[in-house]
Amino acid sequence: MKNRNSEIEKRTKRDMTILGTTLSWVAISVGTVFLTFSFLLPREGLAFAMALGLGIALMPAGLIAIVTSYASSSVIERSLHSKIDDLTASLAVSVAKLNSTTEYLDRSHNLGLRMVYPDRKQALHDFLTYAEIYVQNRAIPKRELIFVGSSLKGVITETPAFAIQLEKIIEKTREHPDECTCYILLTHPFYSRYRETQEDRPSTGIAKEILHAIAWLEARRETASNIRIKVYKGTPTCFMISTSERMLINPYPYQVEAFKCFCLEVEVNERPDNILTAFYTNHFYKPWFGEEKREDHYLQPNALDYLHLNLEGPIPEISRRVPGSPDKYGDFFVIPDQGSFYLAVNIRGLATEIPYDRKDDGAQSILRISNRLEVRLLNLSPDAEEIWETVGEIAVDEERNGFWHNRLDSRSLSAYSMIGVFDSSLTSPFAHEELANEKLRGTPLPVLWRWLVTRELLPPAKAVDSPKNP
């Protein structure tokens, strides 16, 4: 490129010099002819004046042009040199951009990059529509739709239109139980506390969002077994929605919600190192299912199942409730793990005064509940120091709502028989029935409770082999 520019510069300079010199000598020659011719003409005539004038004009002009052409050639040379340098630099920048763009497009194609979005809202607008079509596409025999996120707040809460689309996707997935499975992996609510300060969120705020999302999803999946929900033991790194064809990836910044950050959309291709395959394996499959067994150990999956149940009480018999009073005042989540378990208790609208046992004459009894409650676990094992073990406290706010959660280390859920919420300022007028365990018989019930030892919570019985024919 540099040699070519130098050749053009030399050629231009030579051509300009030849042209200027030729014109100058023509002017000198013509001027000399007119001056010589003027001496042969009568001095009083017009012809003499014209010939003399042209000769005087042309010959000095030619001489001056020859002198100035050599002087001005350096100026022209510098000007041309500057313009050529500018053109060369501009051309070099354009070539570099073209090379960079070509390399980017080539790598993007190889890795499966399909589109880039400035935030999750714009990305979801297109991707959720595609996902709704995908779950109904029977041309794909075994379809998978995967959500990996913190609390799905950016889908469920921030934009109502997205929540409606997600409801449709769940509904369509339910309709194809043998062909399509939806996996939803959310953040373990215990680990959400590590993000509260960075995102300027209230204490337990993110945990409540996660548990709300689980309840929201449960209500819409109904009893469908092909819509599965788990929680991951760790803070999130990327929000992800994936099918077997395309994937949306949205990174989590340290100090702002992910739905305000950029998104990448990728697609699967034949290359083994494409983004979709790598992210599917490491961001979903291994966390959900675990890794292969090795010689020295087995890496357990970090995605855990959970238990979500309503709390019963505070009035046990339906016949003693005042008509129109709520049946449920709270729920709880349990997430068992190796050597520990997570427990969250959510109180909703627990009134200060709860009427019960209304008589025909209008008289009734009142159960008055304070704004300080205790969470206790029932341990009926023979070596237990106390049958009721206090594990946390709940402060009820002005709207009579309260929340408590924690991970209970070095404890097994199977060691406990009941979860109870007590008000230490009162003694419940309701007692355990006569058929209860001898340690409980006749003692006051908690304000709210739930038995953990029930048929629905016990592990499934092993199948018994049928006797063989002799």
Give the residue with greater pLDDT, 81 vs 265. Answer: 265
Q: Is residue 466 part of a domain?
A: no
Residue 458, pLDDT > 50, answer no
**One domain for residues 40 and 89:** yes
Q: Residue 78's pLDDT is what?
A: 66
Query: Do both 325 and 425 map to the same domain?
Result: yes
How far is the C-alpha of 395 from the C-alpha of 401, rounded, in Å?
A: 8
Give residue-wise pLDDT tens across range 302-358: 899 999 999 998 988 888 888 877 888 999 999 999 889 999 999 999 999 999 988
pLDDT single digits (tens) 168-203: 999 999 999 999 999 999 999 999 887 777 777 888
- Both 407 and 267 in a single domain? no
Check whether residue 162 and residue 209 sit in a common domain.
yes
Whether 357 is in a domain gets the answer yes
SS3 for the chain, per residue? CHHHHHHHHHHHHHHHHHHHHHHHHHHHHHHHHHHHHHCCCCCCCHHHHHHHHHHHHHHHHHHHHHHHHHHHHHHHHHHHHHHHHHHHHHHHHHHHHHHHHHHHHHHHHHHCEEEEECCHHHHHHHHHHHHHHHCCCCCCCCEEEEEECCCCHHHHCCCHHHHHHHHHHHHHHHCCCCCEEEEEEEECHHHHHHHHCCCCCCCCHHHHHHHHHHHHHHHHHCCCCCEEEEEECCCCCEEEEECCCEEEEEECCCCCCHHHCCEEEEECCCCCCCHHHHHHHHHHHHHHHCCCCCCCCCCCCCEECCEEEECECCCCCHHHECCCCCCCCEEEEEEEECCEEEEEEEECCCCCEEEECCCCCCCCEEEECCCEEEEEEECCCCCCCCCEEEEEEEECCCCCCEEEEEEEECCCHHHCCEEEEECCCCCCCCECCCCCCCCCCCCECCCEEEECCCCCCCCCCCCCCCCCCC
Q: Are residues 313 and 403 in the same domain?
A: yes
Residue range 204-215: mean pLDDT, rounded: 93
Whether 339 is in a domain gets the answer yes
Predicted pLDDT at 190 = 94
pLDDT computed for residue 221 by the predictor: 94
Is residue 296 assigned to a domain?
Answer: no
At residue 455, the pLDDT reads 46
Q: Which domain holds residue 45?
A: 2-108
Domain end, chosen from 55, 81, 108, is at 108
pLDDT in tens, 266-278: 999 888 889 999 9
301 lies in a domain?
no
Which tens digit of pLDDT belongs to each residue from 394-433? 999 999 999 999 999 988 888 999 999 999 999 999 998 8
The percent of residues in the chain predicted with pLDDT above 90, rounded, is 46
**215 pLDDT above the threshold of 60:** yes
Per-residue pLDDT tens over the stretch 437-448:
888 988 999 999
Whether 341 is in a domain gets the answer: yes
- What residues are paired with 256 via a beta bridge? none
Asked if residue 126 and residue 77 are part of one domain, the reply reads: no
The answer on 272 and 381 residing in a single domain is no
Tell me the mean pLDDT in the region 105-110. 78
152 and 250 in a single domain? The answer is yes
In this structure, is residue 295 part of a structural domain?
no
Q: Is the pLDDT of residue 19 over 60?
A: no
Shared domain for 275 and 259, answered yes or no, is yes
pLDDT value for 100 = 63
Predicted local distance difference test score (pLDDT) of residue 300: 73
Same domain, 285 and 181: yes
Residue 362 pLDDT grade (very low, low, confident, very high; cuts 50, 70, 90)? confident
Task: Output the pLDDT for position 192.
Answer: 86
Which CATH number characterizes residue 434's domain? 2.60.40
**Tens digit of pLDDT for each residue in 368-402?**
999 999 999 999 988 888 999 999 999 999 999 99
The reported pLDDT for the residue numbered 44 is 63
Q: How confident is the prediction for the chain on average, in pLDDT?
A: 82
**Could you tell me if 66 and 174 lie in one domain?**
no
Q: Considering its fold, how many domains does the chain have in total?
A: 3
Q: What is the pLDDT of residues 116-134, one digit of tens each?
A: 999 988 999 999 999 999 9
Residue 190 belongs to a domain with what CATH number? 3.30.870
Please check whether residues 277 and 320 belong to one and the same domain.
no
For residue 145, pLDDT beyond 90: yes
Task: Please report whether residue 136 resides in a domain.
Answer: yes
Q: Does residue 37 have a pLDDT over 60?
A: no
Last residue of one domain, picked from the residues 108, 140, 169 = 108
Give Cα 77 to chain centroid, integer Å.
59
Q: What is the mean pLDDT of residues 436-464?
A: 73
Confidence category of residue 72, pLDDT binned at 50, 70, 90: low
Look at residues 51, 81, 108 and tell me which one is the last residue of a structural domain. 108
